[in-house]
Structures are given as C-alpha cells and as structure tokens.
Chain A
Amino acid sequence: MGDPSGEPGSSMHGVTGREQTFAFSVASPIVPTDTTAKFDLPVDTEHKAKVFKLFSFANPHMRTFHLSWISFSTCFVSTFAAAPLVPIIRENLNLTKQDIGNAGVASVSGSIFSRLVMGAVCDLLGPRYGCAFLVMLSAPTVFSMSFVDGAGGFITVRFMIGFCLATFVSCQYWMSTMFNSQIIGLVNGTAAGWGNMGGGITQLLMPVVYEIIRRCGATAFTAWRLAFFVPGWLHIIMGILVLTLGQDLPDGNRSALEKKGEVAKDKFGKIMWYAVTNYRTWIFVLLYGYSMGVELSTDNVIAEYFFDRFHLKLHTAGIIAASFGMANFFARPAGGYASDIAATYFGMRGRLWALWIIQTAGGLFCVWLGRANTLVTAIVAMILFSLGAQAACGATFAIVPFVSRRALGIISGLTGAGGNFGSGLTQLIFFSTSKFTTEQGLTWMGVMIVACTLPVTLIHFPQWGSMFLPPSKDPVKGTEEHYYASEWNEQEKQKNMHQGSLRFAENSKSEGGRRVRSAATPPENTPNNV
C-alpha cells in the first residue's frame, strides 16, 4: 500500500491502523490539519477538532462537548428522578407494585419513538436547536409532577418525561459535527457514558433535595412534589445555555443552511433496507437491550430495593443506588477500551469475545445481587454488575460501526432503541407483578442477560470471522471491500457512490488482528524523502 515514490501523504510509515476508535487525537499525516483556521484545538479541513481535550471549555469544540453531555445528563436526571422517591410517592398516590412497575416501563418507552424522530429534527433544525427544543419543551412535563393525584397521572407524567432521553441523538449528532471521525468513537462514548451518569446523580440528588425541603417544614407528600422543581429548572437552565453558548458547526450557525445540501444525499428507504436486512443489526438490538436495557431497569428499581430489603434510610439507599449509575464515568469508556485492546491482538474476533465475556459476567453478578442476603454483599455484587453492564455498552458500540457503513446511523439508532425496549420488557416481566419479589426479579434478570448474550456467538463477518469460526478463505467474499461494497447495487457503484464504503473498508483492515496489522506496516521502509 505504501507508495515508495515518496509523495506527501503516501507513506504508511507508522500507520498501524489502530487510530480509528477511542484514540485521544489523530496524528497529522493521517488527517491533514488546516493551519489557516484559528481555533484552540488543531482542526481538519472541515474544521472538526482532531484532538479531544477533556478539561477545556474552548469554543466551539470542547464547549459543545460539555454542553452536550450535561444536557443529556440532565435528561437522565429528570427521567429517573422519581425512582429514589418511590417509597414516598407510593404512599402519597396509593400505588401498587404493578403501578410502580408500569411507571418504570413508561419512563423508558417514550424515548423509543422520540429517538427515532430526533434524527430528522436534527437534520431540519440542527443539533443545537434539536437539543434546546427537546430540553425546554420537556421542562413542563417535569413540573407537571406537582399535579399528579394517582397511578394514572404518575404513569402518564413519567411517560412524557421519558421523551427527553432523545437528547442522546442530538448529543451524538452534535459531537459528529464537531469532532473528526477518527476520534469520534471515544468522544461519543465518553459523552454517552457521562450522560448516563445522570441516572446515578439523580439517586443522590433527589433524596437530598427532598430531605432539605422537609427540614424546611413541608410535609412528606408536598416535599417530593417540590423536589421535582429542581430537575425542571435544570432543564430550563441547560436549554438557555445551549441556545446562548452553543453553535451548530465549528464555523458558526448560519452555514447550517448551506451544508444541508450535502446531508440528504442517500435515500432513506435504501439505508433502512440495508439496516433491517442485516441480521447483525437485530442481534445488537437484542444485546443492547440486555446491557443498556438492564442498566435503565436497575436505575428504576435499585433505590427502592435497598430501602425495602435492608431497611435503610431514603438518602442512604440513594447513595448506594447512585454508585450504580455513577460507575458509568469510567466503566463505559473502559468497555470500549477493553474492546480495542482485544482487537489489537485478535481483531474483530477479540472484540466479540470481549463483549460476550463482559456482558455475561455482568449477568452473573446480577444473579448474585438478587441472591445477596446482606447489605455488604449486595453492594459489592451491585457494583460489579454495574461495571459489567456499562462496559458491555461501551464494547457494543465499539463493534456497531463495523456492521455497516452505509446504514450506520440507522443501525446505531435501532440499537439505542433496543436498549429502551429491553428495559421496558424487563421491567414489565420481572418488576411489575406480585409473582416475583424484587430480589427474585433481579436474579431472573441476570439469567436473562446471560441467555440473551449468547446470540453474539452468531455474529459472523466473512472477512474477520466470528467467536468460533475463522474468516472466510474465499479471495473475493473474504475481503472487507466485498462486505462493505455489497451494500451498494451496480447502478450505485457505477455512480461511484460507494467510494466512502471502500475507504472505510481499507481503514478497517486492522480488525483482522495482529497478523494483519503487522503486515500493514511496511518493515523498515523509510520513504525516499524523509
């Protein structure tokens, strides 16, 4: 591949193929820097950042990152705000176990649809307005908790609040306008992981706010309603910050109109077809339902579980429950990182094994959590379960970009929706009926995780193999080019629409594992012009 004639950009010296996912920065020969641009970070020709500088708030790239993940996190806070207060709410509204379970299902169901719509909204209005619209229009739903009188109202309000989880889409969309595709994996993974942390923050925040309001003299049944004003105001504040401090693109907002022409090139129907007919899509939908899905379900039940089973005070249960969600801070990126490490040695097969091991381990720890009889073992089991489930989320999205090039957006969206669907289903089966106690529900949920992770053995890439089968030795069908180009028909190929897929196929050869990677680097080849 390396061109020994020494033209600039042709040397493959130093290129290991490792750079694409979860790197902190992109080296310059691979993606050229635009030196004329005056930004705080080095940028490429589209003015997307090539470096991910975590602790900077520099406009526009890092500022966008922080606005984005914080508003996504705020939506997690409000969606799960009811969960740690359920011990109080259930007495005020005279709820049964079924009502509480149904409300939990409702809280994660709304966003299945809103996430699908959000993609179109971002295309129409841009991610900044997409995010601000969603966050500020869902603030009234949070405030309307003060009107709730019974089970029906409670379920309805939790359903409506749940719509705001679609900020996941605006968050990821916004990141992809600001960061180069070589580092977008880490950026998006961190933003998603830190956003999910909101589910943990809320378990700490809401009991504390409730306690403060109670100490100020309110009765219990008024205090919890007032407590909801806090996430409501967070929505308004974040919405205003996004509108005033954010911008759609690195160069500003107005160019959004000009750029739109480039976006709608491919036909939606075709992309949908290739997403839906790829069997791997559906396996990942199932898998994500049992990593992200069980994480969301646990966010909804864990505080009440510790409160009831171990006779803890509300804020103590909240602290323990919070540590479940907060583990996202490092667990999700760690999962992606583990997948990358496995890939350096074993390629895609390593990624698949890593995902199976991590997610199954999470399931086993969940079983242990359900069977733990003392507080200490329950906490240990819960933390290990959280690490397993959240790292599995990160490891899932380390593989999803390779399933398809043409339909990546839709497949990511479907996978994300699968997470919410899995959460709703799990809560419906195990936590909404009197058939199972909560500890039995957790045990069976763990068993279901292990069972539903088995399909990862069926994922086979002809060019890289699967968990148990080696790659195809067919000289045509066993290549990356064949796999990614097969998503385009002959007419489209004649129009050269598949060039992006071919480029991606070239870059993805590193997923073949160690032997392929060491062959890619030409040994001792120094270019003619150094």
Chain B
Amino acid sequence: MAIHKILFASLLICLLIQSSHGATKERLFSDLEKSALEVTATPSRVGEGVVLAAGIDKLSITWKVSSTATKEPEFKAIKVKLCYAPASQVDRPWRKTENELFKDKSCPHKISSWSYDPAVKTAQSFDYTLERDIPTGTYFVRAYAVDAKDHEVAFGQSTNEDKTTNLFSVQAISGRHKSLDIASVCFSVFSVLALLVFFVNEKRKAKIEQSK
C-alpha cells in the first residue's frame, strides 16, 4: 500500500509542476514584421529541373535590411535558415508550419548567424555549401532578425508569401558506401556459413558416434 501512496503523491506533484508553469504568451510568427529583410538565394547551378547535390553545390545568399523596417533598432543578430517549401511538407507532419514560433518546424536547418551592425547599411552576402545532412526536398531561405533576448522580431525570405517562387531542389546524399556494402555482405555470408559448418559438423559427429 505504501507503493500506492508514493505513486499517488508523485502523480500529484507532477500535475502541480505542470500547472505551475504559468501562462506565458506564446510568440507568434504572425506577429513578426514581414519583409523587414530582403533576402536572395542563388544556387550555384540554375535551370529548369536542376537538382542541387547536398555536400557539393552552393547557395549564394545575400541579405539586407529593408528601408521600410520599423523594428530595426531592436535587431541584434541575423539568423539565416533553410526552410521547407510546402511541397516538401505534404504527408510529413514533422516539418509542419505552425504559427507558434517554438512549435514551428518548417525551418530546422541553420545556415549561419551574423551579429547585426546598424552602421553597415549595404547588403551582406556569403556562400553556403549545402550540408551533407540536408534531406531531399524543395527549399527556400529565410533570415530572422532577433533581439537581445534572442527572440525573433522580424524576418525576410527569398520567396514570396505563398512560398511558390524562387524555390530550389536538393538531392540528399545516399549515405551508402561501397565499403559498408562489402562489409555487410561479408558478415552475412559469415553468419550463414558458420551455421552450416556447425550443423554439418554436429551431424557428422552424431553419425560417427552412432556407428561406434
């Protein structure tokens, strides 16, 4: 019975902890200032039906604070991320776009982070080689401007609001290696052979014993 009391008490404590988290207003994507940054992303290879190779091809990314940005004094850093286009989110709820920022999973791949210097007004550009763990899909680039508390306040993206223009496709690496394949085959063969050798051996020993 003591166990039951302990279990019940721990249940109560857990529920209390959960409720004591308090109600913090969740930060929403819709509250962010749109188009505060002008972002362009140009793949190293362009053309109809071109698919970029992860780990090999590059993106040339530029970002610039728009002249219409109102929250500009709060900017402390710019975070550039690779985001999924709607086509890559179909039937994949782990990439879903959510309005609550902490729940949103549509931009999981960090490209880079730059601290913001208000004195520099020109466009910043850099090259980014697609990482080898980028999955196959269609993407665009988004840059978030964050304040001193590391909260997003504004953003800009390389595509339009409906996420239909300027998208680019990436093909992931397969992760397969010839050496892996060969090792796999060797171990499999070893397993089957070892079994057969044991089996035949024991049958032979049993025959010898029986004939004695």
Q: Which residues of A contact B (CB under 8 A)?
A: 87, 90-92, 94, 96-98, 129, 132-133, 136-137, 139-140, 143-144, 146-147, 149, 219-222, 224-226, 229, 232-233, 235-236, 239-240, 243, 253-254, 304, 308, 311, 374, 376-377, 380, 434, 437-438
Contacts and interface: CB of A to CB of B under 8 A. Distances in A.
Given A90-B92, A144-B184, A219-B132, 16 more contacts: A87-B94, A91-B172, A94-B137, A94-B172, A98-B91, A140-B188, A140-B191, A220-B133, A222-B177, A233-B187, A236-B194, A374-B18, A377-B18, A380-B10, A380-B14, A434-B91
Contacts of A224: 175
A91 B133 CA distance: 8
B175 A225 contact: yes
Given A94-B172, A143-B184, A239 B132 contact: no
28 contacts: A92-B174, A96-B90, A133-B195, A136-B192, A139-B188, A140-B188, A146-B180, A147-B184, A149-B176, A219-B175, A220-B132, A221-B174, A221-B175, A222-B180, A224-B175, A225-B175, A226-B180, A229-B184, A229-B187, A236-B194, A239-B194, A243-B195, A253-B206, A374-B18, A376-B14, A376-B18, A434-B91, A434-B93
B198 interface: yes
Nearest to A139: B191
A311 B101 CA distance: 13
Interface string B153-177: 0000000000000000000111111
B181 interface: yes
By Cβ-Cβ distance, the 3 closest A-B pairs, closest first, are A221-B175, A140-B188, A91-B135
B195 A92 contact: no
Contacts of B188: 139-140, 143-144
B94, B136, B191 interface centre (most CB from chain A within 10 Å) = B191
Contact of A225 (B172, B180, B190): B180
Interface residues on B, range: 35 or more
Nearest to A140: B188
Contacts of A311: 102
Contacts of B206: 253-254
Contacts of B202: 253
A308 B175 contact: no
Contacts of B174: 92, 149, 221
A304 B94 CA distance: 9
B176 to A, nearest CB: 7
Nearest to A379: B14
B17 interface: yes
Nearest to A221: B175
A128 B69 CA distance: 75
A507 to B, nearest CB: 33
Contacts of B184: 143-144, 146-147, 229
B15 interface: yes
A254 B177 CA distance: 46
B135 A92 contact: yes
A136 B180 contact: no
B9 interface: no
Given A91-B133, A380-B14, A437-B93, A136 B191 contact: yes
Contacts of A94: 135-137, 172
B21 interface: yes
Given A254-B209, A374-B18, A434-B91, A235 B191 contact: yes
Contacts, number: 118
Contact of A140 (B93, B102, B137, B192): B192
Contacts of B91: 96-98, 434
Contacts of A146: 176, 180-181, 183-184
Nearest to B191: A139
A139 B187 contact: yes
Contact of A239 (B17, B102, B172, B191): B191
A140 B199 CA distance: 18
B195 A137 contact: yes
B180 A380 contact: no
A224 B177 CA distance: 12
Contacts of B209: 254
B86 to A, nearest CB: 14
Contacts of B180: 146, 222, 225-226
A177 B181 CA distance: 41
Contact of A243 (B15, B175, B176, B198): B198
Given A374-B18, A374-B21, A219 B173 contact: yes
A139 B194 CA distance: 12
A223 to B, nearest CB: 8
A129, A140, A239 interface centre (most CB from chain B within 10 Å) = A140
A221 B137 contact: no
A132 B195 contact: yes
A236 B187 contact: yes
A129 B184 CA distance: 24
A129 B194 contact: no
A222 B191 CA distance: 23
Contacts of A229: 183-184, 187
B123 interface: no
A240 B194 contact: yes
Contact of A129 (B132, B172, B183, B199): B199
A236 B187 CA distance: 9
B11 interface: yes
Nearest to B209: A254
A232 B202 CA distance: 25
B139 to A, nearest CB: 13
Nearest to B10: A380
Contacts of A140: 187-188, 191-192
